[in-house]
Amino acid sequence: IEFMLNNLLHWSVNQQNILNTNKEIFDLIPFASKLTKAYNQTAIIKQIDLRFETELQTFVIESDINSWGIVIRNLVNNALKFTKPGGQVVVGISIQENSAVLDVTDNGVGMDAEQLGSLFKLTEQKPSWGTRNEKGQGLGLILTNEFVSRNNGYINVTSEPDKGTHFKIIIPVAIHHVQTVSESYTIPAEHSVPQTKAGTQSTLLP
């Protein structure tokens, strides 16, 4: 309920055009991994393998940290909501030219073409129910789209019923420092075994 109320508050303020875009310098890697880890308990309860993976050790950018927080929380929350027990949600951060890229991928219930077409349209939103009867109004994704647009970014969504959904967020940023270590940081759900990709080292977050 608190999450939904926060989304409603952010949306209301955004509609009044009084929410400023305040850019600051921060490291996106620990920021995104911490936000992902905050959902680890939810993942454990739903028996979902939640992971944060990146090839970057450091990615210091200048961007609107509040917008990034809203986008990451909404996409991770949405992915967990519509993924069944035994499923997986993977959150990733990467670089594409002068932009930061956020990928959130799940193998949950997915969406058909009609659902995809109305995903970011407020007038076409209907109450939806997650795999554990979690109620949603679709406001989180609309808010995500608005904050991405506010930061001159864009969203690409691919989905297939019963196969899962992939959100790709690309936002232009001023890049201050990058360090690549060919390492994947993961947050596995309880009792899961870290998976190692070719050429990477799998490390558990504390």
Instruction: Tell if the pTM clears 0.75, that is, is over it.
Output: yes
Decide the pairing of beta strands 99-106 and 164-172: antiparallel
Measured between alpha carbons, how far is residue 25 from residues 59, 60, 66 in Å? 10, 7, 12
Higher pLDDT, 135 or 47: 47
Backbone angles phi, psi at 205, to 5 degrees: -80, 150
Strand, coil or helix: what is 177?
Answer: strand
Which among 83, 90, 28 has a CA at the least distance from the CA of 61? 28
**Res. 83: pLDDT tops 50:** yes
Using one digit for the tens of pLDDT, what is the confidence trace for 85-123? Answer: 999 999 999 999 999 999 999 999 999 998 888 887 755
**Integer CA distances (angstroms), 195 to 37, 52, 149, 201, in order:** 17, 12, 34, 9
Handedness of CA 23, 78, 156, 142 (dihedral sign): negative
Tens digit of pLDDT for each residue in 103-113? Answer: 999 999 999 99
Q: Whole-number mean pLDDT of the chain?
A: 79
- Average pLDDT on 36-46 reads 95
Predicted confidence at residue 123, as pLDDT, reads: 57
Mean pLDDT for the stretch of residues 55-67: 94
| DSSP type of residue 11 | H
CATH number at residue 187: 3.30.565.10
42-46, 62-66, 71-75, 135-139: segment of lowest average pLDDT: 135-139
CA 87, 112, 123 angle in degrees (round to 5)? 110
Residue 165 · residue 110 · CB < 8 Å: yes
pLDDT at position 130 is 60
Q: Are 56 and 178 in contact (CB under 8 A)?
A: yes
Structural domains in the chain (count) = 1
Residue 157: give the domain boundaries: 2-204
